[in-house]
């Protein structure tokens, strides 16, 4: 996706998580990892795989799975009724990739964005490998126990309906959450409000991380890495 030309046949949830851990390992400083949409599943699996590199997890209008849950499992919950992405994807090719038509994208993804921003984003959408969608996360017992999790809930989201976001928060207790009155793309529609929320979480996480760092003789927490 994007500038990554990896063949769809090589893509899996494990390869996504491995790439996140590879990026995080390039810096000795643990990062606050922000997952958006499907990135929440990826960030969760990556954090379980390399927890030493993760200072905190933030889910922005993102899927927040429990152990052995997949993205598709979450969309099939009653609270996911009415979602507008899987319902509009066009799947083709071998291995299969999914394409979102422009008109459906405008309604489902960018409902609160300006016409200019929506057009800019839609022009950059790429076919997405579908093989990771049914792949469950595997979380060893206690893998995420020391990692605080935070959530940004978007109340006009047509991709992950707000009732589903609330259920995931209830089933995966978070150290904090905020609500933004916007669509699935708050980084494009309410950029300043999202930045303030991330700053709040980072400050809160850094206060805890700093105390832990002092106990270990170091104080270098603070980097934020976003995966979509």
Distance CA 215, CA 211 (A): 6
pLDDT in tens, 96-135: 999 999 999 999 999 999 999 999 999 999 999 999 999 9
In CATH, which superfamily holds the domain spanning 8-227? Alpha/Beta hydrolase fold, catalytic domain (3.40.50.1820)
pLDDT in tens, 38-94: 999 999 999 999 999 999 999 999 999 999 999 999 999 999 999 999 999 999 999
- Give domain limits for the chain: 8-227
| Residue 194 near residue 186 (C-beta atoms within 8 A) | yes
Q: Strand 90-92 and strand 97-99: pairing?
A: antiparallel
């Amino acid at each position: 996706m994007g500038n990554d030309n990896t063949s769809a046949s090589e893509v899996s949830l494990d390869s996504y998580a491995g790439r996140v851990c590879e990026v995080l390992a390039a810096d000795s400083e643990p990062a606050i990892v922000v997952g958006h949409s499907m990135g929440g599943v990826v960030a969760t699996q990556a954090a379980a795989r390399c927890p030493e590199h993760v200072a905190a997890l933030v889910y922005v209008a993102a899927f927040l799975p429990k152990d052995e849950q997949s993205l598709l499992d979450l969309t099939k919950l009653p609270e996911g009724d009415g979602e507008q992405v899987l319902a509009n994807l066009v799947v083709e090719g071998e291995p299969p990739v999914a394409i979102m038509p422009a008109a459906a994208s405008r309604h489902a993804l960018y409902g609160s964005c300006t016409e200019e921003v929506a057009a800019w984003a839609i022009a950059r959408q790429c076919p997405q490998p579908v093989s990771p969608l049914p792949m469950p996360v595997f979380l060893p017992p206690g893998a995420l126990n020391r990692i605080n999790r935070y959530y940004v809930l978007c109340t006009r989201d047509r991709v992950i309906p707000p009732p589903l976001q609330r259920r995931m928060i209830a089933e995966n207790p978070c150290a904090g959450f905020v609500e933004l009155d916007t669509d699935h793309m708050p980084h494009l529609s309410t950029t300043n409000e999202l930045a303030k929320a991330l700053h709040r979480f980072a400050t809160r996480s850094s206060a805890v991380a700093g105390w832990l760092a002092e106990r270990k003789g170091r104080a270098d927490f603070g980097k934020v890495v976003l995966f979509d």
